């Protein structure tokens, strides 16, 4: 592994989102979802993802999201069927009016929902990354579902039994597995964060946010972003590329405050403006100490078009970024 000190960090990412385009897209999607009684949801989701990825660029080249509404509709139907089975069994048990059956129904339902979480995270990573490319090279995720579910349940139970104290170690384990199995062509990734470091950041952040009546929460968020970025490593031909955040608490406060005003005074119609502002600030404040070498990129990943996991993640409101 090449070790280079004192590299100069540079801004290589940019987000070009146009406010009126995203506001119009969101309004149109919402109207169509109402008219179609929700059936347009997969196409709405695909169009927003195509917009978001298409407006993001690295080294002046934009990303492409290749997922389609048709693929996501197939996943949507499968995800909907899973939820219908779980709810159907729960209501069947309740309607028997037998206390024991109601208990069994409740236990099966909640265990089922909990098991869907790792399935959704794994499936979403596999679909999203496989359907994303840059300069024609696709991303990919090589994680194994059984391994991930076992890891998720084991560390998730530890987190529950310790009333959330183990939560930072749980999150770091998930990140290690996901980044360790992420690919961009022949480029590999890894996550080097430590659960103890994240625990201390959270402990200090929660404590100081409480005693400062929320004022410290902007510094808390800044430290969380710094922790995430500095521990993501991009590896090309044995050379490790580092990232860092230049986000300050003041920038976070300004973004959050103005976004609240935008959303409140437009009754939510201009939420797209707030989303674009978040993306611009996020991208402008990520720096790299080296660019990847596009000439050495090689296509290595297979296509994967099953969007069930991504639709499950959307329905469960999971975004394990």
Question: DSSP 3-state helix, strand, coil percentages of the chain (rounded to 5)?
Answer: 60, 15, 25
pLDDT recorded at residue 262: 95
Per residue in 187-224, pLDDT tens? 999 999 999 999 999 999 999 999 999 999 999 999 99
Q: How many CA atoms lie within 13 A of 293 on its CB side?
A: 10
Mean pLDDT of 110-139: 91
pLDDT class of 5 with cuts at 50, 70, 90: low
How long a stretch of residues is the chain? 321
Beta carbons of 77 and 309 less than 8 angstroms apart: no
The predicted model gives 148-164 an average pLDDT of 93
Closest CA to 191 of 207, 210, 172: 172
Q: Can you tell me the mean pLDDT for 16-30? A: 95
Query: What's the token pair of residue 202?
Result: 């959270």
CB 141 within 8 A of CB 129: yes
DSSP notation for 153-178: HHHHHHHHHTTTTTHHHHHHHHHHHH
pLDDT for the residue 95:
87
Which regions of 211-299 does DSSP assign to beta strands (E)?
A: 232-236, 239-241, 243-245, 286-288
Q: Which residue has the tokens 């496989």?
A: 130
pLDDT at 7 over 90: no
CA–CA dist 182, 157 (Å, integer):
25
Does residue 316 register a pLDDT over 90? Answer: no
Q: What is the mean pLDDT of residues 34-61?
A: 94
The 10s digit of each residue's pLDDT in 64-98 is 999 999 999 988 888 888 889 999 999 899 888 88
pLDDT value of residue 237? 93
Using DSSP's 3-state secondary structure scheme, residue 182 falls into strand
Q: What counts of helices (H) and strands (E) characterise the chain?
A: 11, 11
Average pLDDT, the chain: 92
> Longest Cα pair distance anywhere in the chain, in angstroms?
70
Section 9-27 average pLDDT: 95
Nearest Cα neighbor of 171 from 188, 150, 193, 189 is 193
Distance (Å, whole) CA 79 – CA 87: 13
Query: Taking a C-beta distance cutoff of 8 angstroms, is the pair 105, 92 a contact?
Result: yes
CA angle 42, 46, 55 (to 5 degrees): 160
What is the per-residue pLDDT across 259-276, written as a single tens digit (0 to 9) for each?
A: 999 999 999 999 999 999
Residue with tokens 């995203």: 22
- What is the distance between the alpha carbons of residues 39 and 254, in angstroms, rounded to a whole number? 37
Helices (H), 55-98: 69-95
Enter the DSSP assignment of 194: -
What's the confidence (pLDDT) of residue 99? 84
């Amino acid at each position: 592994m090449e070790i280079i000190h004192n590299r100069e960090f540079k801004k290589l990412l940019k987000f070009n989102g146009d406010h009126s385009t995203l506001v119009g897209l969101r309004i149109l999607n919402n109207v169509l979802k109402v008219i179609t009684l929700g059936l347009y949801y997969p196409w709405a989701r695909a169009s927003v993802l195509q917009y978001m990825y298409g407006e993001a660029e690295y080294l002046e080249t934009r990303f492409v999201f290749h997922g389609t509404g048709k693929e996501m509709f197939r996943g949507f139907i499968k995800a909907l069927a899973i939820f219908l089975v779980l709810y159907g069994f729960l209501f069947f048990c309740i309607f028997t009016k037998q206390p024991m059956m109601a208990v069994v129904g409740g236990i099966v339902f909640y265990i089922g929902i909990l098991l869907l979480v790792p399935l959704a995270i794994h499936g979403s990573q596999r679909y999203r990354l496989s359907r994303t490319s840059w300069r024609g090279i696709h991303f990919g995720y090589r994680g194994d579902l059984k391994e991930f579910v076992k890891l998720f349940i084991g560390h998730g139970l530890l987190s529950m039994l310790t009333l959330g104290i183990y939560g930072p170690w749980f999150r770091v384990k998930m990140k290690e597995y996901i980044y360790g199995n992420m690919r961009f062509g022949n480029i590999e990734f890894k996550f080097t964060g430590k659960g103890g470091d994240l625990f201390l950041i959270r402990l200090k952040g929660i404590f100081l946010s409480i005693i400062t009546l929320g004022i410290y929460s902007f510094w808390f968020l800044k430290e969380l972003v710094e922790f995430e970025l500095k521990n993501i490593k991009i590896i090309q031909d044995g050379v490790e590329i580092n990232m860092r955040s230049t986000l300050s608490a003041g920038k976070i406060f300004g973004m959050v405050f103005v976004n609240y005003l935008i959303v409140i005074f437009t009754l939510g119609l201009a939420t797209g403006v707030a989303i674009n502002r978040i993306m611009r600030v996020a991208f402008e404040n990520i720096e790299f100490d080296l660019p990847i070498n596009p000439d050495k990129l090689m296509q290595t990943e297979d296509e994967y078009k099953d969007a069930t996991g991504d639709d499950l993640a959307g329905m469960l409101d999971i975004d394990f970024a």
